[in-house]
Structure 1
Amino acid sequence: MPQQAAPPKCPSCAEPVEPGDHFCGACGHDLSVVAAPQQDHPTLAMASPVQGDGVDWPAPEPPGSDSTSPAPHLPADLPGTDSGGKPLQPGEPAAPGVRFDRPAEPDEYPLQAPDPRAAAGPAAAAPDPAAGDPAQVCVACRAGRVDSDGYCENCGHAQPRERDHMERESGPVAAVSDRGLRHHRNEDAFAVGHTTLPDGTPAALAVVCDGVSSATRPDDASLAASRAAGDALLAALPRGTHPQQAMHEAIVAAGQAVDALAGEGAADREHAPHQNAPACTIVGAVVTDGLLVVGWVGDSRVYWVPADRGAPPARLTEDDSWAAQMVAAGLMSEAEAYADERAHAITGWLGADAYELEPHTASFKPDRPGVVVVCTDGLWNYAETAEEMSEIVPPDATERPLHSARVLVGHALDGGGHDNVTVAVLPFPAPSQGAGSA
């Protein structure tokens, strides 16, 4: 866990206080009082309220903390509602309900094997075709054979994993995921797909999950969650389930899939089945010909980038994170909160050791074409505001979503690639792709 940056201070007069103090000794401020949490609204209302979208949806049931009414007009990129819990005070150590989404890393993180995307160089010897399958030749020494455990028998280097770099297109939506340049494996996962609604109109979806690195098996958690959520959406939408309700149910299904990993292989499930359980965050989007629905738990994000770059972009999600709580409670400015080394402590995640699952969902009805960018913090750390994200999205993103996803991943790698990075791009409105799903 990161070291505390500074001793705790009174939020009223900024005098130092002790962790166990209930009142400030200088001004008498009640240290147990925090600002009331904001309602779970997206960061910006787009165009008109979500009414009369042209599809005869069954009325969705209010699912807990979901935002089912039009959002108020808030500034773009206002970070953060809390997840229903008490915000942490500055200097307060992370308590149950808060976990750091990555361990501390050195400035130079050695890779297990050379990046296979880099050119081998003119001096690299070509593998001998007579030696067998070229895919089983070590990417490092270009001579040794790879054993069943994925290591070179000659030089000992671990070989790139299948998930180090993944790309997929499904109808109008595309996604790209990359290990990055510092992590030894890719702990992100995604699911993309397209289908048709009961009236024949098209719908596209994307789900992106980011494994919590400090947990066990984060790569398994993100993969299980993304698959469960994607399958749930592809099953629910053709039945006529309202997309916002379908998104809520998909996140619940994802949470159940991650919960199920906690007891796998445990010798005694009664004693510690949830200790440091597998965990991940989740974010998803569904687009139709007139409706945009988002849902999330954690700090992965959805951005709206209009095709007309003269119109304002927007961030459509609010992080479940320590930094967002500090800003929402009025205890720190946005710049101060996100500069703190505790900024990426998350207050919401999927996993057996999480508090009660409270999916956030919201619906929008944009009044113009554009693209929806669904991403992990491996990207938005290098383009945090909606304006910054809009600047790096290619102008032809609505026509070339896969190319655009590659460009956005490349932006993160060029910026340092300190984390895994996953990006999905969905054009809005969803273009017709014919019947069926993928």
Structure 2
Amino acid sequence: MTDNEIDDIDDGACPECGGTVAPDGRCWDCGADRPGFRAHVEIGTAGGAAGVSDRGRHRGVNADAMALATAGPWTVGVVCDGVSMAPRGERAARLAADVGAAALAARLAEGVLPETALAESALRAGRAVTALAVSPGAAPACTYAAGIAGREGIWSAWVGDSRVYWLPDEGPGTALTEDDTGELDVLAAWLGADAGEPAPRIRSYRPAVPGRLLLCTDGLWRHLPDPGALRTVADRGARHGTASAGRPLLAGARALVDHALAAGGQDNITALLLPVAAAAPGRPAATGPG
């Protein structure tokens, strides 16, 4: 469901045998590693949404994943972060992002309410990740954050500590998610066989001004937790991003990732930006496409 990928420099055939490269960078057929697999990934849509994911400076594998899709007037995005203490977290994240975005776009195209689409797509993503487990003690896991931008407003859903922010062109921004963490910031909810059925929390907002919906992993927000700082960096990137002229959200996402890399890049880093128009006045909160 992702359209117009800008650059996914690490996807493709195995350089050794021409086989299929798995989500962890190893060939399904011969087992060879692909150097630099998914070290830096950029995606985008014709409508301007864009995302950047980077392995960071200290991780051997990029266990973050992102996906974009469109369905009529809707733009949707999903960002996931593989749980480092679980096996094959990178595989869980890529599967959850792809399944979640595809299911979300499909249900919106069918005319269901965004809240319903978000809940159902998170459930499908959770079941897909659960199916990866080979035993209760070997259960891949990941966080999950999804966002929708449409004519009537913006919506977010999440499980874990990947975040969604509203970054307006004017006025203060805000976080639309609350981390699922316990004492000492220990993750308290995730997708995976050892987590049970996901129970995503969902939040909606009707913006009065245009802006951007930002979905990101903790590799970004730990360096920039404040919505105002996130918007400042993204705006600066959009103004000065000559390499991505005509794609301000791509330039903004690049600037956010570059900021985290400059701050140390301790973790994988992902920033996904969806364009948001001011909500149409007088329209119902959610009516599906049309």
Q: TM-score, normalised by structure 1?
A: 0.53
Which residue is 1:44 aligned to? none
Residue matched to 1:316: 176
Residue 292 of structure 1: aligned partner: 154
Q: Tell me by how many angstroms 1:427 deviates.
A: 1.1
Once the 2 structures are TM-superposed, how far is the Cα of residue 430 of structure 1 from its aligned partner?
8.6
Aligned residues: 246
Counterpart residue number, 1:421 = 269
Check whether the contact 2:69–2:102 (CA below 8 A) recurs between aligned residues: no
Please tell me the residue identity of whatever aligns with 1:286. I
Contact 1:237 1:243 in 2 (8 A): yes
* 1:290 positional shift: 2.6
Instruction: Report the Cα offset of residue 261 of structure 1.
Output: 0.2
In the TM superposition, what is the alpha-carbon distance from 1:260 to its structure 2 partner?
0.4
Q: Can you list the C-alpha shifts for 1:400-424, whole angstroms capped at 9, x where unaligned?
A: 1111111111111111000001110
Instruction: After TM superposition, give the deviation of residue 357 of structure 1 in Å.
Output: 2.0
State the match for 1:230 in structure 2: 101
Q: Alignment partner of 1:346: what SS?
A: coil
Q: Aligned to 1:169, which of 13, 26, 44?
A: 44
More strand by share: 2
In structure 2, distance between residues paired with 1:356 and 1:399 = 38
Correspondence list, 1:178-257, <5 A: 178-196=54-72, 202-257=73-128
Where structure 2 has 5 or more consecutive residues not aligned to the other structure, the ranges are 1-8, 10-14, 17-26, 240-245, 280-290
Tell me what 2:243 maps to.
none
Instruction: Output the amino acid matched with 1:249.
Output: E
Give the partner amino acid of 2:202: T
1:150: Cα distance to partner? 4.3
From 237, 244, 249, the equivalent of 1:401 is 249
- How far apart are the structure 2 equivalents of 1:174 and 1:186? 18
Q: CA deviation at 1:149?
A: 4.8
* Distance in 1 between residues matched to 2:235 and 2:255, nearest whole Å: 8
The answer on 1:411 being equivalent to 2:290 is no
Aligned partners of 2:152, 2:276: CA distance in 1, in Å? 8
Whole-angstrom distance in 2 between the partners of 1:260 and 1:235 = 21
Residues 208, 278 of structure 2: 8 Å contact kept: no
> Aligned pair 1:392/2:226, yes or no?
no
Q: CA deviation at 1:358?
A: 1.0
Gaps of 5+ in 1: 1-115, 117-134, 137-146, 152-157, 197-201, 264-272, 324-341, 432-438
Question: Kindly, what percent of the aligned residue pairs are identical?
Answer: 39
1: CA distance, partners of 2:187 / 2:277 = 32
> Does residue 160 of structure 1 match 2:17?
no
CA distance 1:382–1:316, shift in 2 (3 Å): same
| Equivalent pair of 1:276/1:353 in contact (CA under 8 Å) | no
TM-score by length of 2: 0.80
Check conservation: 2:163, 2:175, Cα contact below 8 A: yes
After superposition, the CA RMSD in angstroms is 2.2
1:26-60: CA deviation from partner (whole Å, max 9, x where unpaired): xxxxxxxxxxxxxxxxxxxxxxxxxxxxxxxxxxx
Greater fraction of residues in helix:
2
CA distance in structure 2 between the partners assigned to 1:399 and 1:410 by the alignment: 17
Q: Secondary structure at the match of 1:416?
A: coil
Over 3 Å counting, the alpha-carbon distance change for 1:209 and 1:405 in structure 2 is same
Pick aligned residue for 2:141 from 255, 274, 279: 279
Note the C-alpha offset of 1:276. 3.9
Contact kept in structure 1, 2:78 and 2:100, CA below 8 Å: yes
Structure whose CA Rg is larger: 1
